[in-house]
Amino acid sequence: MLNDPLFLAAAFMALVVAAILMFGIGVFARGGEFNRRHANRLMRWRLIAQFIAVVLIVAFAWFMRG
C-alpha cells in the first residue's frame, strides 16, 4: 500500500487538510486583524483541500476493491 502513488497523494492531502485546520484554529484563537481579513480564505482553502482529499481517498478505495 505504501508503494501506491494514489495512497501517498491521499495521505499527503489529508495532512495538508490537518495543517490548514490547525493553522486556522490558531488564527481564530488569536483573533485580531489577520483573523478578520483571512478567516474566510483559510476556510475556503481547507474545504478545497478536503474535497480533493476525499476524492483521492474514494478513488483509492475504488481501485483497490478490484
CA 55 to chain centre: 11
* pLDDT given for residue 58 in this prediction: 96
For residue 43 the three cell numbers come to 476556510
Q: Given a cut of 80, is residue 66 above it in pLDDT? A: no
* pLDDT given for residue 2 in this prediction: 82
pTM, 2 dp = 0.86
Confidence of residue 1 (pLDDT cuts 50, 70, 90): confident
Q: Which of 8, 6, 5, 13 is nearest to 47 (CA)?
A: 13
User: What angle do the packed helices 5-30 and 32-65 form, to 10 degrees?
Assistant: 160
Model confidence pLDDT, tens digit, residues 14-49 = 999 999 999 999 999 998 898 899 999 999 999 999
Model confidence pLDDT, tens digit, residues 54-64 = 999 999 999 99
4 phi and psi angles, rounded to 5 deg: -80, 120
Query: Is residue 43 within 8 Å of residue 24, measured between CB atoms?
Result: yes
For residue 55 the three cell numbers come to 476524492
